[in-house]
Amino acid sequence: MAAVIDHPAGHDDHAHDHPHGWRRWLFATNHKDIGTLYLWFAFVMLLSGGVMALTIRAELFQPGLQYVNPEFFNQLTTMHGLVMVFGAIMPAFVGFANWQIPLMIGASDMAFARMNNFSFWLMPPAALLLIGSFFVPGGATAAGWTLYAPLSVQMGVGMDMAIFAVHILGASSIMGSINIVTTILNMRAPGMTLMKMPLFVWTWLITAYLLIAVMPVLAGAITMVLTDRHFGTSFFNAAGGGDPVMYQHIFWFFGHPEVYIMILPAFGIVSEIIPTFARKRLFGYSSMVYATASIAILSFIVWAHHMFTTGMPVTGQLFFMYATMLIAVPTGVKIFNWVATMWRGSMTFETPMLFAIGFIFVFTMGGLTGIILSVAPLDIQLHDTYYVVAHFHYVLVAGSLFALFAGTYYWLPKWTGHMYDEKLGKFHFWASLITFNITFFPMHFLGLAGMPRRYADYPMQFADFNAVASVGAFGFGLSQLIFLTAILKCIKGGQKATDQVWDNPQGLEWTVPSPAPFHTFETPPTVK
């Protein structure tokens, strides 16, 4: 049977032939191609969500209604949230996982290559459903991204489209997570024990478990909304024995871990970048791993801090307040570790490092306002005001998004084979950092003064800070065009990147050529 035994090698070569044209993308099974698809998809969604945000800020530039009516305004705030969370931030991190995890653990590809293809190609139809819902009678859902019942029960067909879209995106996320977990647990290069894995891989392993645990919970919550809407059930209708607050419990049991799903991989990216540019090993590797795991576990027992004003009993408020405050401890450990990594290093400040430091700086501000919000008796004043809007944009935009920028600049030379334009990168960083703060810092004041969220119009006394925020928002939006320019320029050409790219970076991804060839680690490397 020698012929048969010989045959598979030749056959394999044929099957792994480099496809061209649209087939390469539609039938993609290569982790690098799928990673690229995810990243472009996320960027397109980032721009769509950004256009919605700028429409919101244009309307809020002055008191009074200038451009949109309140119905459409509510659709915009709702869809901005859904598109950014499910369309931009989450897929972007999955894109990084696809590109980097096999490269970092010395695997030849993801474990389930065809499921990987399916996970991605579920997303464009879901995005079409979401964006398309603007054009159906009654428009898109306007119940807020949290889709609270019973308001979500009142909506038109746009709500059903959003529910279906979130179902699909959830299925995609679960498949992606199973793929990531399987790849990390089974396909590491010989010698790479769990405690030798790069931190980015660790944070994604934990994130993938979080996703598998909570996406079905979200699917359950919105399915109950769907049956309440169309099939006469009363899960969230008191008249039929249901409870509107139960929706919030179920939603936030998903929603709070979701917050960490969007930030843990960001921690991972930053933990890769800081040591490279400090030219010093990451401080406290094992405490970083334990801190990430603690945050993930704690994230399951803090959900009701989003619900302090629903009227919980004293014991409930105290429990969720204490649990929430506790999260500050492992999060603090991470920040201290990063600072200690920088301490007595030999630092240079290329764009990835700038974004990583920017991340630590603004993420910490968001973390500190998080401590303030965790104090239940004070949250009574701040809940559902612009203070909360400021807080979560500090952790999600300046947190997750800045880390995504950092990671993009860091690995772009490996992906494209060219160095990006350092001047453009630095310009992008400073423009983003400054305009971000102009946009969101004044929102703390608005919230403290009592301006509620999701308001299409507001009293005159709030006018100045809103105007400042709107100016900043347009600056921040335009700054992202610098990012697009930098990326396109880097794809087209530029200084040839070396295989190492940076000054002696750690990790297997730097041992393959730049650009990373279509197939890498067909023979697994050995890790000492």
Partner 1 sequence: MVMVPNASVAGRSSRSVLSNFAQLGNPVSRGVTGAKTLLGLATLAMTAPVWAVKDMVGGPGVNQINLTQGVTKIAADQHWIHNFLLWVCVAIFVAVFGVMFYSIWAHRRSRGAQSADFHESTAVEIAWTVVPFLIVVGLAIPATRMVIEQKDTSQADLTIKATGYQWKWGYDYLKGEGEGISFLSTLSTPAEQTALGSKAEKNETYLMEVDNPLVVPVGQKVRMVITANDVIHAWMVPAFGVKQDAIPGFVRDTWFKAEKVGTFRGQCAELCGKNHAYMPIVVEVKSQEDYRKWAAAQKAEMLAKADDPTKEWAQADLSDRGAKVYASNCASCHQPTGKGVAGAFPALEGSKVVLGKQDDQIALLLNGKAGTAMAAFKHLSDVELAAVATYTRNAWGNKAEDAIVQPKDFSAARK
List active site positions: 80, 109, 145, 172-173, 256, 258, 260, 271, 305-306, 331, 334, 453
Measured CA to CA, the distance from residue 520 to residue 106 in angstroms comes to: 8
- 285 binding partner 1? (CB under 8 A): yes
Query: How many residues bind partner 1, per CB under 8 A?
Result: 113
Interface residue with partner 1 among 287, 427, 505, 507 (CB under 8 A) is 287
**Which residues between 384 and 413 bind partner 1 (CB under 8 A)?**
384-385
If you search the block for the tokens 């935009």, which residue do you land on?
A: 397
Helix (H, G, I), strand (E, B) or coil at 224: helix
- Cα radius of gyration (the chain): 23
Give the torsion sign (CA, 334, 205, 91, 215): negative
Interface residue with partner 1 among 456, 482, 497, 501 (CB under 8 A) is 456
Question: How far apart are CB 207 and partner 1 at their closest, in Å?
Answer: 23
Helix (H, G, I), strand (E, B) or coil at 418: strand
**Which residues between 16 and 35 bind partner 1 (CB under 8 A)?**
none
- For partner 1, give the closer residue by CB, 375 or 491: 375
- 511 binding partner 1? (CB under 8 A): no
The neighbour count for residue 447, using CB atoms within 10 Å, is 25
- For partner 1, give the closer residue by CB, 16 or 454: 454
- For partner 1, give the closer residue by CB, 117 or 337: 337
- 453 binding partner 1? (CB under 8 A): yes
- 448 binding partner 1? (CB under 8 A): yes
**Which residues between 344 and 363 bind partner 1 (CB under 8 A)?**
344-349, 357, 360-361
**Which residues between 311 and 340 bind partner 1 (CB under 8 A)?**
311, 313-314, 317-318, 321-322, 325-326, 328-329, 332-333, 335-336, 339-340
- 283 binding partner 1? (CB under 8 A): yes
Q: What is the DSSP letter of 211?
A: H
- 178 binding partner 1? (CB under 8 A): no
Here's the x/- map for partner 1, 131-170, by CB under 8 A: it reads as -----xxxx--xxx---x-xx-xx-x--------------
- For partner 1, give the closer residue by CB, 12 or 464: 464
- For partner 1, give the closer residue by CB, 292 or 520: 292
Measured CA to CA, the distance from residue 308 to residue 278 in angstroms comes to: 42
- 505 binding partner 1? (CB under 8 A): no
Helix (H, G, I), strand (E, B) or coil at 128: helix
Question: How far apart are CB 329 and partner 1 at their closest, in Å?
Answer: 5
Distance of CA 313 to the CA centre of its chain: 33
- Asked whether the bond before 150 is cis by omega within 30 degrees of 0, the reply is yes
**262 closest CA partner among 344, 203, 202:** 203
Give the torsion sign (CA, 284, 285, 288, 290): negative
Contact 32, 53 (CB under 8 A): no
- 64 binding partner 1? (CB under 8 A): yes
H/E stretch holding 327: helix 314-342
- For partner 1, give the closer residue by CB, 281 or 423: 281
Stretch that binds partner 1, among 82-90, 97-105, 343-351, 511-519 (CB under 8 A): 343-351
Measured CA to CA, the distance from residue 446 to residue 480 in angstroms comes to: 26
**Which residues between 193 and 252 bind partner 1 (CB under 8 A)?**
228-230, 232, 237-239, 243-245
Contact 73, 59 (CB under 8 A): yes
Stretch that binds partner 1, among 1-9, 211-219, 369-377, 515-523 (CB under 8 A): 369-377
Contact 519, 108 (CB under 8 A): yes
Contact 152, 159 (CB under 8 A): yes
**507 closest CA partner among 425, 360, 407:** 407
